[in-house]
Homo-oligomer: A and B are copies of this chain.
Amino acid sequence: MKLEKLVGERFRERPSDCVVDSHALMVRGGYLKNVANGIYSSFTPLKRITRKIEQIIREEMDAIDGQEVQFPVVMPASLWRESGRYDSIGKEMARFQDRNGTPLVLGMTHEEAAVQLVREYGNSYLKYPFMVYQIQTKFRDEARPRAGLIRVREFTMKDAYSFHTTQSDLDAYYERCHRAYERIYARVGLPEVISVASDSGMMGGSVSHEFMLLTPIGEDSIAICKECGYRANVEAAACITPKQEKTASDALTLQHTPGCHTIEEVCDFLHCDKKDSCKAVVYQRSSDNGYVVLFLRGDLECNETKLTKYLGEEIYPAVITEESGLHAGFIGPVNLKGKFTILFDRSLEGRNHLCCGANQTDAHYTGLDMERDVKNAVFHDFAKIQEGGICPHCGKPAISVSRGIEVGNIFQLGTKYTKPMHMTFTDVDGSVQYPVMGCYGIGIGRLAASICEAHHDAYGPIWPLSVAPWQVHICAVRADNDTVKSYADKLYAELEKAGVEVLYDDRRVSAGVIFSDADLLGVPFRVIVSPRNVKQNVVEIVSRDKHFSSTAPMETAAAEIQKILTEVKEAKA
């Protein structure tokens, strides 16, 4: 199509509200427009990109025997009550009533709808396994949308649901889907995406993986073992601290620690290492505002995902009031009195020679011996794995922590949905069983933004050919020159006729505007028709990533361009 007619605005200035490059470039390039907090409209270039991503995903889902279906965006609350999630999910689910007062919800995921669709079909073991998937709009009322399409409230997602008669069949299919995901990321231009073990969160189930694009702007932290290759979301990674040989304990001794509130201040004042301190982290339950006090080794941080999972409910950072009975900055495990839930991280197990709060203002203890001074403490894993930490898999202190964007996830769900929703099949031996499920998601818009994040320069996105909005961008520099214009028109017609997706810029604007717009649109190959080139009877062919630059005779340029495109496609395949 002609660039002159392309709806959308392009501009030079980085919008002040864009914190990540992909967002800034996609706004500057006329890819999207904000409609409300975390809600966007897409212009044509983005729509073309997402359609290509969708088609790649569709092909890979079909290749693992997926069947494309469609679930509704609007679902009756009754369906979500069957699984119990109508109550267990909080504010992120949009709820409303129809004209008759029937409660409805907007789908944020479709496990319930998938079970509802196939509940009668899957009545015999003979029908299994099968997988259904859809590509559909979802709404999740995120508290903090951010970074453009990276975290939004309304999004398009491919979500797939597989059904199996046995866990081993699910295992095999899960692995197959894992490989399909690898192919998808490779095909859209992100072969560097890695899978990491993850926490399954509100989806339930046991085994789950997230697919991560490692980038400093990512919201997730990923622990990677440099020794054995173990990879997990920090949320899901076990935190291991070395057992220490116990030497004879000192007496528990009260120390006057005036004005020492933070663990750093206390350790400085008492001349002890943070690793030899026992610190308190306090939360409150969302349900009843009750206090939860977690003790852990002073140098570690709380992994809130683990804590939430252990408690089985939502928490928030505590507001410690005078009436609470807690002395902020001086909380310790000895003689802590009040109606608190008290928890201990396993980093403290068997430890002595620790300093800790004394539950009175300006006072700490030294010489804490957990076994001696804190009777009946039970230890669990609540801490966050750290840079340099011990790998839960190989046991070596080789963990590095990177940031990443989650660009997909796969979950083993077991019978979490089929059981409460009464989906059963008759097995080969006549017994009635619940099928086990897997679910598999990829957010389309987030993937598009991630591709941009991974492939851009200061001037714009550099779209991989497989997902680029167009394949070739013809720049007619000085379109007021008749030879330039008539040749560029001809080349445009010829390439379009050959089925090449061409964006054609024949505006009578400066070369600067032509090239900066081309940079923002990020089309992989640019063909420059200019008075100077025409005089030499050539066109320039330049790749957006600047790795390729060449000239071709005007007569054979169309054929040459098609040859280059074919070569790139074949090299990727």
A91 at the B interface (CB under 8 A): yes
B95 lies within 8 A of A99 (CB): no
Known: A117-B43, A121-B8. A139 touches B33 (CB 8 A): no
| Docked CA distance A106–B96 (Å) | 11
B35 lies within 8 A of A137 (CB): no
The contact string, 1 if C-beta is below 8 Å from chain B, for chain A 50-74, is 1100000000000001011111111
B74 lies within 8 A of A139 (CB): yes
A68 partner residues in chain B, CB cutoff 8 A: 44, 47-48, 51
A118 partner residues in chain B, CB cutoff 8 A: 7
A487 at the B interface (CB under 8 A): no
A8 partner residues in chain B, CB cutoff 8 A: 121
A41 partner residues in chain B, CB cutoff 8 A: 69-72, 113, 116-117
CB distance from A244 to the nearest CB of B (A): 46
Known: A41-B72, A130-B7. A36 touches B137 (CB 8 A): no
A346 partner residues in chain B, CB cutoff 8 A: none
| Docked CA distance A141–B102 (Å) | 11
B69 lies within 8 A of A154 (CB): no
A74 lies within 8 A of B113 (CB): no
CB distance from A125 to the nearest CB of B (A): 14
Of the candidates B35, B76, B98, B154, the one whose C-beta lies within 8 Å of that of A141 is: B98
| Docked CA distance A65–B76 (Å) | 39
The contact string, 1 if C-beta is below 8 Å from chain B, for chain A 93-127, is 01110110010101000000100111011000001
A192 at the B interface (CB under 8 A): no
Total copies of the chain: 2
A94 lies within 8 A of B96 (CB): yes
Name which residue of chain B comes closest to A50, CB basis.
Answer: B70
The residues in A between 141 and 172 inclusive whose CB is less than 8 angstroms from any CB of B are 141, 143, 153-154
CB distance from A449 to the nearest CB of B (A): 15
A6 at the B interface (CB under 8 A): yes
A43 lies within 8 A of B65 (CB): no
A40 at the B interface (CB under 8 A): yes
A543 at the B interface (CB under 8 A): no
Name which residue of chain B comes closest to A163, CB basis.
Answer: B7
A121 lies within 8 A of B9 (CB): yes
A9 partner residues in chain B, CB cutoff 8 A: 120-121
A36 lies within 8 A of B69 (CB): no
Known: A9-B120, A65-B5, A132-B7. A36 touches B76 (CB 8 A): yes
Known: A67-B7, A69-B43. A33 touches B74 (CB 8 A): no
A75 partner residues in chain B, CB cutoff 8 A: 35-36, 39
A7 partner residues in chain B, CB cutoff 8 A: 67, 69, 117-118, 121, 127, 130, 132
B35 lies within 8 A of A79 (CB): yes
A42 at the B interface (CB under 8 A): yes
Name which residue of chain B comes closest to A94, CB basis.
Answer: B96
A99 lies within 8 A of B143 (CB): yes
Name which residue of chain B comes closest to A100, CB basis.
Answer: B37
Query: Interface size (A, Cβ < 8 Å)?
Result: 60
A551 at the B interface (CB under 8 A): no
Name which residue of chain B comes closest to A156, CB basis.
Answer: B70
A136 at the B interface (CB under 8 A): yes
CB distance from A510 to the nearest CB of B (A): 17
A74 lies within 8 A of B94 (CB): yes
| Docked CA distance A143–B137 (Å) | 24
- Which of A37, A41, A48, A50 has the largest number of chain B CB atoms within 10 A? A41
| Docked CA distance A74–B96 (Å) | 13
A47 lies within 8 A of B74 (CB): no
| Docked CA distance A153–B99 (Å) | 11
A50 partner residues in chain B, CB cutoff 8 A: 70
Known: A41-B69, A74-B154, A106-B74. A116 touches B5 (CB 8 A): no
- Which of A9, A35, A50, A139 has the largest number of chain B CB atoms within 10 A? A35
A116 partner residues in chain B, CB cutoff 8 A: 33, 35, 41
CB distance from A57 to the nearest CB of B (A): 14
The contact string, 1 if C-beta is below 8 Å from chain B, for chain A 70-86, is 11111110010000000
| Docked CA distance A153–B137 (Å) | 16
Known: A36-B76, A96-B95, A121-B9. A42 touches B67 (CB 8 A): no
A74 partner residues in chain B, CB cutoff 8 A: 36, 39, 94, 106, 139, 153-154
The residues in A between 437 and 482 inclusive whose CB is less than 8 angstroms from any CB of B are none
| Docked CA distance A71–B99 (Å) | 25
A91 partner residues in chain B, CB cutoff 8 A: 99
| Docked CA distance A9–B132 (Å) | 14
A69 partner residues in chain B, CB cutoff 8 A: 7, 41-44, 47
A79 partner residues in chain B, CB cutoff 8 A: 35-36
9 new A-B contacts, CB < 8 A, other than A41-B72, A73-B73, A73-B137, are: A7-B67, A7-B118, A7-B121, A7-B127, A7-B130, A8-B121, A36-B76, A39-B74, A41-B113
- Could you name 29 residue pairs across A and B whose Cβ atoms are closer than 8 Å? A1-B67, A5-B67, A7-B117, A7-B118, A7-B121, A9-B120, A35-B71, A35-B75, A35-B79, A35-B113, A36-B72, A36-B74, A36-B76, A36-B102, A36-B104, A39-B72, A39-B74, A40-B72, A41-B72, A42-B70, A46-B70, A47-B70, A73-B139, A74-B106, A74-B139, A74-B153, A74-B154, A96-B96, A99-B143
The 8 A-B pairs of least Cβ separation, nearest first, read A96-B96, A91-B99, A36-B76, A42-B70, A44-B67, A39-B72, A41-B117, A47-B68
